[in-house]
Each structure stands twice: as C-alpha cells, then as structure tokens.
C-alpha cells in the first residue's frame, strides 16, 4: 500500500510539473494549466487513489480516513481505476506514443496503479455486503464528469479523450459512446459487488 501511494504521488508530481510547463508554453495561465490537467479522468482517479491510500496509512481514524475505508468507497475507486486501465489499453494507447517522463507517468497511471490497487482491494480490504444498488450510485461521478467535459469542451474546444471529442464526433456519436461506457461501468460494478459478497460469505 505504501509503495503504491509513493509511486502514484511521484508520478502525479512529475506529471503536474512537466504538463504545467507544456501547457503554459502553449499560452495557458498556471491556473488554466492545472484545470486542464485535472480535466483528465485518469488524473482525477489516480489522485483519489493516492489520497485514499495515504489517509488509510497515516490518518485512518480521521473523518476522511474513515470515509475512504468504507467498502463501498474503495469498491467505487476500484471500478473507476479499472475503467481507466481498460479504456487506455483498448482505445487510447494506440492513439499516441509518449516518451521520457511522460511515458513513465502514463505507465504508472494506466498499467501499474490499476492492477496494484485492485489487488490491494481484493486481498487486504475487509469485504462487506455492499448493496447491489451501489453499482448505479457509482455511475453518478462519471456522469457528472461527462457533463463537465462536454460543457467545458463546448466553450474551449478541448476534449481530453477521442471518444468524446466534440470537434470530430457528433453529439449523437458521443452520446452513444458514453452510454456504452456507462454500461461497462455498470457491468464491472456489479462484478465487483458480486466478488465482494462472495468473499465475505467465504
């Protein structure tokens, strides 16, 4: 757990540093560069994972430590980071090639952090009877994220992912892609709840 937290924090620090320099060189302000970086679902969820692991290690009895120790919260984080991994490996990896520190951060965020966090959840977290309805509750965050990205993209012309790129796709195509993604969220969410319940029973 500590190793994963340190690794993700390190990658986030490097990513924020090099990306902020890159975005500011393109004419964005420092604040604009930070907002741009935080608009990536990948960055948001790796930040949540690093934060949750750190709180579980250093302040488990605190308000936020107790929040991130909830089985439903950890299950939701597992779901989101699985989606980050799957979408990247199946769709995004072939769209661009990263080099140097960008490549290092990419691999940490998409290829190392997801399986390590899921293994942590499977092996070390006490399972509970998470309600099946949580699979639907877990859809709220990606839905809000989608609305934010589409709204922001409408005004700025920037979309972080090709499958929701309003500059290249119609809103109908984007809507279809998003619905398919939500269905994937739902299926994997039900799977995680099933695993959690089976583990508790055994």
pLDDT tens readout for residues 121-156: 988 877 777 889 999 999 999 999 999 999 999 988
Burial 149-160 (b: 16+ CB within 10 A, else e): bbebbeeeeebb
Euclidean distance between CA atoms 192 and 122, whole angstroms: 9
Share of the chain above pLDDT 90, in %: 65
pLDDT for residue 36 = 86
Average pLDDT over residues 36-62: 94
Q: Where are the alpha helices (DSSP H) in 59-202?
A: 63-68, 71-87, 100-107, 113-124, 134-137, 140-156, 171-201
**Structural domain of 183:** 2-201
pLDDT band at residue 68 using 50, 70 and 90 as cut-offs:
very high
Higher-confidence residue of 156 and 99: namely: 156
Regarding pTM above 0.75, the answer is yes
Domain count, the chain: 1
Rg (CA), the chain: 17
């Amino acid at each position: 757990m500590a190793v994963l937290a340190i690794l993700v924090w390190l990658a986030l620090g490097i990513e924020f540093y090099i990306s902020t320099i890159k975005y500011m060189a393109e004419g964005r302000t420092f604040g604009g560069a930070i907002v741009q970086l935080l608009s990536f679902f990948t960055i948001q969820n790796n930040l949540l994972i690093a934060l949750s692991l750190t709180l579980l290690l250093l302040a488990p009895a605190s308000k936020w430590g107790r929040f991130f120790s909830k089985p439903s919260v950890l299950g939701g984080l597992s779901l989101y980071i699985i989606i980050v991994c799957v979408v990247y490996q199946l769709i995004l990896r072939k769209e661009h090639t990263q080099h140097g520190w960008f490549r290092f951060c990419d691999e940490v965020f998409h290829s190392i952090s997801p399986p390590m966090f899921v293994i942590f959840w499977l092996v070390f977290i006490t399972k509970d009877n998470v309600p099946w309805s949580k699979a639907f509750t877990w859809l709220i965050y990606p839905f809000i994220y989608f609305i934010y990205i589409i709204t922001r993209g409408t005004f700025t012309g920037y979309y972080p992912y090709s499958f929701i790129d309003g500059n290249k796709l119609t809103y109908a195509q984007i809507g279809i892609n998003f619905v398919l993604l939500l269905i994937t969220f739902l299926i994997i969410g039900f799977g995680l709840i099933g695993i959690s319940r089976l583990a508790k029973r055994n």
